[in-house]
Amino acid sequence: MDSSTWIKILGYIITPITAFVVGVTYGGIVRVITARVQNRFGPPITQNFWDIIKLYSKKTAVHHGLMQHWGPIFAITASVTSLFFIPVLKDSPLWLNNSFNGDIIFLLYMMVFGSLGMALGAGQTGNPNSAIGVARGLALMVGYEVPFVLALVAIMIQFKTTSIAELMAVQDGFSNWLIFQSPFAFIAAILAFLGMMHYAPFDVTFAPAEIASGPASEFGGKYLALMQTSGSIFTFAKLVLFTDIFLGGAGDLVTLIVKTFLLYMIPVLTGIVNPRYRTEQAITFFWKWPTVFGIIAILIVVL
């Protein structure tokens, strides 16, 4: 095997690890920022690492059936696979770049797959809170997928491509970023992104005061650790995807981290100062203005 293959294999190993580290660190930073807004000092930034290590080191993990094993595994598979098909950096041999024609559509499916796996796993626990949480999560997904798909379709029509790499290639130079080229699609997508990140006002799935912790109610110890790992990787994957599509991608790691972090702050800061919608209110929200913006984006492109 030549060196490029080795580099590629190394990339397959490094990318998820980086995603995990960055995702978890972001989580820690978010906790600190939230704490500062809330007038307090907050935990150390490394706090989320200790949480996850502690969860992995739990001695017992009760499960209620085979599907509960598979739920978190589905979730983590889906997040890692999604990550593999999102170009992390532009034109880098080490960082994965498995882009192919149609990968946007593939990702649309892949990103749902994890949630469905989780739903199956949570369904088996028999906890009514999980069942309600799953129902809410799926309903919410139906809500935000509509503007998200509309936005992506608009972009795909506009640039006549279904590949992220080609989209990234289109946006060289600050003024060519898609956020400026197709602002309506961006607005629709970023509003959908708020729902995707499950921060308030769209945190119905995990609402503690209503349904304990939703789908994860019966997941403890290692299962929860797997879910948190998967969640961190998935967060990073989503951030990179949005950066790639709308913010012109990144040529080096520093740019990537700056861009993704700024993007991450949008749902986080919204979440800090907002209460949560009820499920039907959230869906109504998504089907109102975000959808309208998505349709406008398509109309502008088509006409």
Partner 1 sequence: MREKETTIYLGPQHPGITGNMMVKLKVTGDTIVRAETHVGYLHRAFEKLMEARTWLQCFPIVCRICVPEPDPNEENLSRVIEEIEGREVPERAKYIRVLVLELSRLATYLLWMGGQSGSMGLYTMPQWTVGDRDYILDLFEQLTGGRVYHMYIWPGGVRRDLPEGFGDKVLKVMDYLEKRLKDYDDLLFNNALFYKRAKGVGVIDKNKAQEWGVVGAPLRGCGIKHDVRIDEPYEVYDKLNFIVPTYEGGDVWARAMVRRQEFEQSISIVRQVIENMPGGDFYNKIPNPLNWRVPPGDAYVKTESARGEFGYYAVSDGSLKPRRVHARGPAYVHGVSLLERILQGANIADVSFIMNSLGTCPPEIER
Partner 2 sequence: MEVSYDKESRKIVQAIERFARKHSLWVLAYGTGCGAIEVPPTMTSRYDAERFGIRGAATPRQADVLLITGYLSVKTLKRVIRTYEQMQDPKYVIGFGSCTINGGMYWDSYNTIKLLDMYIPVDVYINGCMPRPEAVISGFIELQKVIAEGKAEGARKYKENLDWYRANQQKIIHNWNMPDYNW
Would you tell me which residues interact with partner 2 (CB under 8 A)? 31, 35, 38-44, 47, 49-51, 53-54, 57-62, 129, 208, 212-213, 216-221, 224
Q: What residues contact 301, with CB distance under 8 A and at least 6 apart?
A: 154, 157, 158, 182
- Residue 39 CB, shortest distance to partner 1, in Å, is 6
> 141 burial class (0-12, 13-18, 19+ CB within 10 angstroms)?
buried
Binds partner 1 (CB under 8 A): choice among 119, 211, 247, 268: 211
Q: Taking CB within 5 to 8 Å according to partner kind, which of partner 1, partner 2, none is near residue 218?
A: partner 2
Task: To the nearest 10°, report the CA torsion of 28, 33, 37, 39.
Answer: 60
Site size toward partner 1 (CB under 8 A) is 27
Cis peptide before 201 (omega within 30 of 0): yes
Sign of the C-alpha dihedral computed for residues 56, 60, 66 and 68 taken in this order:
negative
Instruction: Between 9 and 62, name the residue whose CB sits nearer to partner 2.
Output: 62
Q: What residues contact 52, with CB distance under 8 A and at least 6 apart?
A: 24, 225, 228, 229
Q: Is 253 in the site for partner 1 (CB under 8 A)?
A: no
Instruction: Between 114 and 214, name the residue whose CB sits nearer to partner 1.
Output: 214
Cβ of 186: how many Cβ atoms within 10 Å? 24
Q: Is 275 in the site for partner 1 (CB under 8 A)?
A: yes
Q: Is 274 in the site for partner 1 (CB under 8 A)?
A: yes
Instruction: Between 28 and 133, name the residue whose CB sits nearer to partner 1.
Output: 133
Q: Is 276 in the site for partner 1 (CB under 8 A)?
A: yes
| Site residues (vs partner 1, CB under 8 A) | 34, 37-40, 128-129, 132, 200-201, 203-204, 207-212, 272-279, 281
